[in-house]
Structure 1
Amino acid sequence: MNRVTANGIEIVYDSFGSPSGRPLLLIMGLGSQMIHWDEEFCELLAEHGHHVVRFDNRDVGLSTHLHEAGVPDLGAASGGAQAVPYLLGDMADDAAGLLDTLGLPSAHVLGVSMGGMIAQTFAIRHPARTRSLTSIMSTPGPQIGAPTEQAMAALLSRSTPDREAVVRRALEVWKVLGSPGFPMDEERITRLAGQSFDRSYDPAGFGRQFAAILASGDRTAALRELSVPALVIHGEADPLVRLPGGVATADAIPGAKLITFPGMAHDLPRPLWPEIAAAVTDLTERADRP
């Protein structure tokens, strides 16, 4: 792992593949650390000619946590009644700052869930630095493809700050959010939950990220102004960001390609990795073609 200062914070990242490959920046979702980008998946993307960079967003993992900011009231943040410590635009600027430190004038940007929202925002704020945009299991706004009550309850459930309890909670959450069309990988969920706890356990950081989502509003109008090659991938069984969120994203971005997978929910099932990697590669190759 590497640590750099970018956009006024410290960001921890690592990379896969040759630095001469097509630069591909991976942005993870709400409360999830960069290790949730499986090394095997990153290596698969690298084998397809990408220089893959994954990193911890602010307030998660080993990057800077804004402890002094406290935890915003999520209801007030959603209604615009309370200022929040930062917005998705600040997180997109973190990604741009990371590219600066890596000496990359531009990159292909891929995000999942909240990471997809950040990737969309990056393309809006930094169009000249966006070679292509891939948005997975995401939405242009928090009210589009809104979660089921069960999914929201699972997302907001909390456990005691005990490693075993956190691992048990992760298994319960992914029973709700995981893909019903594919076997649940309990070993992977258990391992990642334990590793994430060992690296950094910060529920308040999760709250600040969630407040950023709620306070950042709808990006539909801004996405309609993009002129960047784009791919949207969504699970047809997603209960957290339901399918209309992916459809709305693809409809908003001119020329975007939409791929949906039956049986996929709010995760990236291992059996789909080759197909997802192939679709991303097709996009990045076309985008870089003269």
Structure 2
Amino acid sequence: MSTDVSQIDIRDGVRVEVHRSGDGPTVLLNGGLGQPAPVWEYTGVVSALTAAGFSTVAHSARGVAPSSAPPGPYRAADLADDAAALLDALELDDVIVVAYSMGCYVTQELIRRHPGRVRATALVAGLQPSPIGELVGRMEIGLLDTYGTIPSDVMTFEQLVTTLHPALLQDPASVRGWSEIFASSGQVWTDDTGLRGNLMASYEWITAGEPTPDRLAAIDVPTLALAFEHDLFFPPEGCRAAAEQIPGARFSVVDGVGHGGFFTGQTDVVARVVDFCREQV
């Protein structure tokens, strides 16, 4: 599988790195908070979709290296407008969107603000935020305000506790191994503006009470909502209740994994996503 990597100026002050693979109907991949485009390849989603006859488009959002970090504040709506501008730049329309975590916020805004651009969407581990997500966001922003940075050990601990499921957290070898992965993942942010901008976009979404029932009810495209059994940020029952507000949405739980279920467990989440995409063409 070959991947085309390019830097694209999508609108004034916003340049994003874009990864494109495969041929066929397009699937736009909207990643989570601070998720660079190449991470999608590690989930297995890109290879599975291209093998199924789709093309994929993933981008590093504004503020995520090596994309540009225009001045803040950022909102989920800004990130959605960036995604629409990227589709314009690539002359794409009527795409399927697969979204993960904060990418689900962006996708909902994309559907809302740019009707007709999205054919269907799979919202994975990101439909209904929990109070823990609000607490973590407030902690991170508070650390930035007080110290100008978020200590690396704090970030590693946060990622461990929220990403891994209980069995991995109780296994010393797994904790050590994942600690090394998180600590060596490098600088994902373009600069401090990008970090703060994305944190604030996420925090604003959560504290605004999104997604609201009326806005969920207005989602008018086929929707698959997946939750992960041990997800602290997006617990299954909250996601189930939110999915029930989306007309015709399908909801299911992926057992045995935490928020990082795309990366940490042998699950059928990729197969579920690919099967859903196949049904839309």
TM class by shorter-chain length? Answer: 0.7 to 0.9
Q: 1:219 is matched by which residue type in structure 2?
A: P
Q: Percent identity?
A: 24
Deviation track 1:145-193 (CA, whole Å, cap 9, x = no partner) reads 221798668866789979xx74x55542232012325644865764565
Query: Do 2:228 and 2:255's aligned partners in 1 also have CA atoms closer than 8 Å?
Result: yes
Cα RMSD over matched residues?
A: 3.0
Using the alignment, how far apart are the partners of 1:102 and 1:187 within structure 2?
A: 39
Q: Which moved more, 1:95-104 or 1:215-224?
A: 215-224
Which residue in the other structure is 2:260 paired with? Answer: 267
Using the alignment, how far apart are the partners of 2:137 and 2:10 within structure 1?
A: 33
Using the alignment, how far apart are the partners of 2:82 and 2:134 within structure 1?
A: 32
Using the alignment, how far apart are the partners of 2:86 and 2:176 within structure 1?
A: 33
Query: Do 1:29 and 1:113's aligned partners in 2 also have CA atoms closer than 8 Å?
Result: yes
Q: 1:44 to 1:282 in 2, by over 3 A?
A: closer
Q: 1:59 is matched by which residue type in structure 2?
A: G
Deviation at 1:271, TM superposition (A): 6.6
**Paired residues for 1:185-224 under 5 Å:** 190-191=180-181, 194-197=184-187, 200=189, 202-216=191-205, 217=208, 218-220=210-212, 221-224=214-217
User: Is structure 2 residue 127 aligned with structure 1 residue 127?
Assistant: no
Using the alignment, how far apart are the partners of 1:274 and 1:17 within structure 2?
A: 24
Match of 1:17 among 22, 28, 32: 22
Match of 2:81 among 85, 93, 100: 93
Q: 1:225 to 1:150 in 2, by over 3 A?
A: closer
Q: 1:226 to 1:149 in 2, by over 3 A?
A: closer
Match of 1:178 among 163, 167, 170: 163
Q: 1:233 to 1:203 in 2, by over 3 A?
A: farther
Q: 2:21 is matched by which residue type in structure 1?
A: F
- Which secondary structure state, in structure 2, belongs to the residue aligned with residue 175 of structure 1? helix
Which residue in the other structure is 1:107 paired with? Answer: 95
Q: 1:107 to 1:36 in 2, by over 3 A?
A: same
Deviation at 1:29, TM superposition (A): 1.3
Query: Do 1:240 and 1:266's aligned partners in 2 also have CA atoms closer than 8 Å?
Result: yes
Q: Which moved more, 1:214-223 or 1:148-157?
A: 148-157
Which residue in the other structure is 1:145 paired with? Answer: 130
Query: Do 2:156 and 2:182's aligned partners in 1 also have CA atoms closer than 8 Å?
Result: no
- Which secondary structure state, in structure 1, belongs to the residue aligned with residue 131 of structure 2? coil
Using the alignment, how far apart are the partners of 1:182 and 1:256 within structure 2?
A: 31
Which residue in the other structure is 1:49 paired with? Answer: 53
Structure 2: 5+ residue stretches without partners? 169-173
Which residue in the other structure is 1:285 paired with? Answer: 278
Using the alignment, how far apart are the partners of 2:155 and 2:39 within structure 1?
A: 13
How many matched pairs?
263
